[in-house]
Structure 1
Amino acid sequence: MSSSQFQPLLGTIALLTGFLPTPVCGVTITDAIHEGRAQFRIETARATYFYDRSGGGFSRLIDRDGNDWISFKKEPLSGTRAAAGAGYRGIPNLVFGAGNPDAGAGHPGHDQCESTVIAADAIRTVSKSGRWGWVWRFSEEHAALTIEKADPERPYWFLYEGTIGGRWSPRSHFWGTNRGGPRREQPFGRDKVFDSWRWVYFGDDAAPRVLLAAQVAGDDASDTLWYMGTTAEELAAPDGMIVFGFGRGAAGPLLRGAGQRFLIGLVEETAGGLDGHARLADVAARWLAAAESADGAPSIEVWYGDEQHFGRLGVPQKWINILGRATARAGLASLHYSLNGAVPMALSVGADGYRLARPGDFNIDLEYDALPAGANILKLVASDVAGRRAERTVTVHCHRGRVWPLPYAVDWRQEQTITDAVQIVDGRWKLEAEGVRTVEPYYDRILAFGDRTWTDYTVTVAVTFHSYAPPLKSAPTYGVAHAAIAARFPGHFADQRRPHVQWYPLGAVAEFRLGQQLDQSSWRIFRDGTANSRAVAIVEPRMRRVELGIRYQLKLRVDTLPGPAARYRVKSWKYGDPEPARWDMDSKEGGATIASGGALLVSHNTDVTFGKFTATQNDPEEP
């Protein structure tokens, strides 16, 4: 937009408010016309919005490819099914109801409102009656709505009614929520879906993006989703729209009062599977955390989603772990969790120099065998020093009776989410083209797989070292930085810390250590130990050089020996080279206090990518 285009709006703002706004990076607002009606055109990096000035709602939402995700038309405006292809469409379509004198406020095509630009990134709308008022504030990522005033006698809702991906094609549309996705149900008419959601996205198979909508303060009010065609053929109708509503119950609007906040925006991400859904969940969590912290309220991130499954493949260790971060601008006072309605338990939060890397980090150890089978409800409550609270609910699904298959192989290119292939014990991880990578390297970032029944097996994994923290004696390196494989790991010992930090007793953890200098790298094996005696350390005498950015293969084999005892052997080589015949280390020392257990991949203060890996049953005839 040229500066001359912006001058009329600057003059209007100066006249109404007495100041000139500072232009906001990535957001411009100009005048426009759509369907013969006066609009504000808001251009951002990801979307162009058309805002109906008299209606107080969006009539168009245009993506980078020119597709309109709302597609409002003024005729017919209402009163007929045909309006599903025209005047029913819009965002947020707030005020509704027969006999409500403000019905139509917040809806394009109506004339109940007056709207003004109040800053270079913000528009305020007030109903002509004076009973309603709200502000939209725009960023490069999304638009944020705050309800400033609401008629105390009238409920309202927040709707998205429009064309997903710019077209009416229910059979190619999908959607997802904080409870799961992507979903392809096509509810219509009397077959509406009702639930209570925190966020929701909408996508089309032909679109490289989705529309994400979120309610900043979650509630228990009913939300709904369904498709509405322009004719009685419903899904087969020639035109129509998605109908979604926060606070839209079966009998009408449910939201009340000022203070409600909502977010909408296009996200350049598809949800073609569970991994896409997980990435969108991360975006939603980030948006919500930023919105909550903006007004000082605490916020709670749960890193791997509000629906988590354990035991689907088998049980690698005794604990399951729910990880995340709680923040509060005023200062976090406390964080508690309650499982299935039990008395709330206080949580330790980071940083602690061990498993909790950053301020506000938490890791809830839950004993798998103590969980009831099926869905378990975990409620988190964070409070700040000013007494404000935030809540988050996680459904923990406990699956029983399954044994992790052996042999087992993972090619990350075939996985939709990290947790489809492994159980995350510690840390933030992301799925990339070459594998799974640490997001925040720190003390013992851990992935678990395998089964508590596994005994003699071999694990081989591809590892790329990107960077590392030089090993110092103090926290959090404690003298070592490494990538490691562990075998026969029962789970952290239940010491006095929460989360628990004691590794022993265990089978063994084989650490491929990076030295102060990269040519000082070598293996170290910790094995055995008891609740009261440390594990035994065996150090490889030979040093070798490691190159950052180069992929290596690491291999660990465990075999049962008479006694009972156990033998642990390790080797490493550059990816693509022939596997060496000889093992780098061979440890037979000690007694085998742990005779079985799953495996771990571990990064300790090292930025690594774990690529393809395999676990195979040992052939006792092989050397």
Structure 2
Amino acid sequence: MKPHLNIWYGLNQTFGHNGFTQHQINILGNIENYRHGLSAYFILNNNPEKKYLTIGSDTNRLAEKGDFNIEIGRINLVKGLNTIKVSLVGNSTDTLTETINVNFLAEGHLSLPYFINWSEVKNIQDAVDVADGKWQLTNDGIRPEYKYYDRMIAFGDSSWSDYEVTTSVIFHGFNKPEPGPPTYNVAHAAIATRWPGHDADNHQPFRKWFPLGATSEFQINENYENCRWRIFDGEYFYAEQSPKAYRKILPETKYYMKHRVESISEYQTLFSVKLWPTSDNEPTNWDFQAIKIGNSSNKGSCALIAHHTDVTFGNIEVLPVIKTKY
């Protein structure tokens, strides 16, 4: 069968209408019937420069055979219509080309509070920017179609600083954590705050997911026992729950998941997290809290991440945290 370019979220996509979520936009897809010897590149707005794409799987952001991620910095987009021509080239002279129309609105910053009710969403990208993975809308929320490395949706704005994110999560399954790629010895569902987007490195797409405020990961282990939180930023800040706080959770059960980020001094940021069954009242105390020293990455949007887990994230609520004087 002949190769075919499948653009997951359509040939007409809009960015910027929900604020400045991250440095770049991501156009995701897959080359169906991919075979060795094929290469792919894209051209932005008829610029003669060809940008070649990595074709998966790559044990990182590209999950399945034939996956690709067109990553374009927002500074390279013009306001209004942008055209992205993706070409697939084989050993013969035949070239398959698909054109994607990107409407970049650049409407300015998004204020808090912010809410997403998935039952009111018809197009996933009306509410979030998909950074990685093929996601589907369900009766309970949004769910990645394939368990792999950091399936991620981002939402919010680069101007956000102190805020609290609440969603729900259902764990349907996970890949067994093992040392090295692609699981890197962990499976989790996470909320990241003060997210700026992937940072530049030598990979396509970029793999460097820091600097950021922090990601709060709820880690899943065998038989859903000894599950726990860890909060870290990928650089110099790392904290995790002590073994006495490890817990067992139930699959196919809905839990609320909350992450708060707040500056408590000029050089200190407090991160607080909790997870509890939706059938219970919210606990007064946080499950885990940690303080990060330093004033880098003090603003940014949010991201929900499923790392080698099959999860459904529910409705999202982001509320401002009133900063106290310090």
Aligned to 2:56: 350
Distance in 1 (CA, whole Å) between partners of 2:295 and 2:185 is 26
Of the candidates 567, 578, 590, which is equivalent to residue 270 of structure 2? 567
User: How big is the shift at 1:327?
Assistant: 3.4
Of the candidates 286, 291, 296, which is equivalent to residue 593 of structure 1? 296
Task: Map 1:123-134; keep pairs closer than 5 Å.
Answer: none
State yes or no: 1:538 paired with 2:239. Answer: yes
Aligned-residue sequence identity (percent) comes to 36
State yes or no: 1:618 paired with 2:324. Answer: no
CA contact (8 A) 2:171 2:253 kept: yes
> What secondary structure does 1:500 align onto?
coil
Q: Superposition RMSD on alpha carbons, in Å? A: 1.4
> What secondary structure does 1:589 align onto?
strand
> In structure 2, do the counterparts of structure 1 residues 451 and 329 end up closer, same or farther at CA, with 3 Å as the change threshold?
closer
Aligned to 1:508: 214
State yes or no: 1:476 paired with 2:194. Answer: no
> What secondary structure does 1:520 align onto?
coil
User: How big is the shift at 1:512?
Assistant: 0.5
> What secondary structure does 2:75 align onto?
helix
User: How big is the shift at 1:330?
Assistant: 5.0
User: How big is the shift at 1:481?
Assistant: 0.4
Distance in 2 (CA, whole Å) between partners of 1:432 and 1:329 is 29
CA contact (8 A) 2:61 2:205 kept: yes
> What secondary structure does 2:107 align onto?
coil
State yes or no: 1:603 paired with 2:306. Answer: yes
Of the candidates 364, 368, 371, which is equivalent to residue 70 of structure 2? 364
> In structure 2, do the counterparts of structure 1 residues 605 and 612 end up closer, same or farther at CA, with 3 Å as the change threshold?
same
User: How big is the shift at 1:389?
Assistant: 2.2
User: How big is the shift at 1:520?
Assistant: 1.1
CA contact (8 A) 2:43 2:86 kept: yes
User: How big is the shift at 1:388?
Assistant: 3.1
Task: Show CA shifts across 1:261-285 (max 9, x none).
Answer: xxxxxxxxxxxxxxxxxxxxxxxxx
Aligned to 1:338: 43
User: How big is the shift at 1:402?
Assistant: 2.4
Task: Show CA shifts across 1:345-402 (max 9, x none).
Answer: 1111110000000111111111112211111000000122344321110011111132
State yes or no: 1:303 paired with 2:8. Answer: yes
Aligned to 1:323: 28
> In structure 2, do the counterparts of structure 1 residues 328 and 493 end up closer, same or farther at CA, with 3 Å as the change threshold?
same
What is the TM-score when the length of structure 1 is the normalising length? 0.50
> In structure 2, do the counterparts of structure 1 residues 535 and 417 end up closer, same or farther at CA, with 3 Å as the change threshold?
farther
What is the TM-score when the length of structure 2 is the normalising length? 0.95
> What secondary structure does 1:338 align onto?
strand
Task: Map 1:111-510; keep pairs closer than 5 Å.
Answer: 293=1, 296=2, 298-328=3-33, 331-342=36-47, 343-510=49-216
User: Partner amino acid for 2:273?
Assistant: V
Give structure 1 stretches of 5+ with no counterpart: 1-292
Between Structure 1 and Structure 2, the one with more helix by share is 1
Ranked by relative contact order (alpha carbons within 8 Å, sequence separation 6 or more), the top structure is: 2
Distance in 2 (CA, whole Å) between partners of 1:563 and 1:496 is 33
> In structure 2, do the counterparts of structure 1 residues 620 and 563 end up closer, same or farther at CA, with 3 Å as the change threshold?
closer
Of the candidates 251, 255, 259, which is equivalent to residue 548 of structure 1? 251
User: How big is the shift at 1:328?
Assistant: 4.1
Aligned residue pair count: 321
Give structure 2 stretches of 5+ with no counterpart: none
> In structure 2, do the counterparts of structure 1 residues 516 and 389 end up closer, same or farther at CA, with 3 Å as the change threshold?
same
> In structure 2, do the counterparts of structure 1 residues 332 and 550 end up closer, same or farther at CA, with 3 Å as the change threshold?
farther
User: Partner amino acid for 1:475?
Assistant: P
Distance in 2 (CA, whole Å) between partners of 1:576 and 1:448 is 27
